[in-house]
A = this chain, B = another copy of it.
Amino acid sequence: MGRHSDRARETLLNSAEELFALHGIDAVSNRAIAERAGTANHSAVTYHFGGREGLMRALLSRGRAEMAARRAELLDAGSAPPTLREIVTGHILPWTEHLASLPVPSWRARFLYQVASVPSGAEALRESAAQSMRLEEILPGDLPELREVSPNVLSSRARILGGMVMGICASYEGQLEQGEARGTWLSVGYFLVDAAVGLLAAPVTHPTEFVTRGSPPAFPL
């Protein structure tokens, strides 16, 4: 058995993540990924992952287990019943902590931002998202901070969070690579928590019955 295969797979995944993050999913060919990985085997992606779908699956599963564990840990440590801020923190901080654990430069945030944005990537995300909880389904309806927010509005607001977190993290990751970053991943996390709480609990001046769903798919925090 080739134990080397793990190394080759890792190299391919890293190359793909970087190229996808920098140029977008659809702008990168399997051949380019293989070349970036340093191999002359232009069918490497097909060989190791069975094709584009397998590659995306492998990329999307990276770090999923750690983040899920960390989320459970944070939510356990909070008060019972948890406050809105605790719930939001439990969903956002595992994410920024995960990004903080990666060597600099990293491309994970920017890659996932691309995945969530582009139709071809969103398709791959759908199956993966099913394995993760969505914040909109987790928020209890009886939180005191959200008493004035109707379920429709709350659900629609929760949909915004994924894109918000992804976008800010992608931006910060880019700054980190350029050496222009101020602050830390943890400060980014708290910034996002503040913003998310303000967003979710904002006063409703115009009640509305519209509800967002479908594309773009909310990124599963």
Contacts and interface: CB of A to CB of B under 8 A. Distances in A.
A66 to B, nearest CB: 24
A168 B172 contact: no
A178 B215 CA distance: 12
A106 interface: no
Contacts of A24: 24-26, 118-120
Interface in A184-221: 184, 187-188, 190-191, 193-195, 197-206, 208-216
Copies assembled: 2
Given A198-B203, A199-B202, 7 more contacts: A23-B119, A114-B118, A153-B191, A191-B208, A194-B202, A197-B203, A199-B199
Contacts of A215: 110, 170-171, 174
Interface string A144-160: 00000000110011011
A94 interface: no
A175 interface: yes
Given A26-B27, A120-B27, A159-B168, A181 B205 contact: no
B206 A187 contact: yes
A101 to B, nearest CB: 18
Contact of A171 (B181, B199, B201, B216): B216
A interface: dominant SS: helix
A213 B171 contact: yes
A60 to B, nearest CB: 17
B159 A171 contact: yes
A199 B200 CA distance: 8
A210 B216 CA distance: 28
A160 B170 contact: no
B209 A187 contact: yes
A117 interface: yes
A163 interface: yes
Contact of A160 (B159, B168, B206): B168
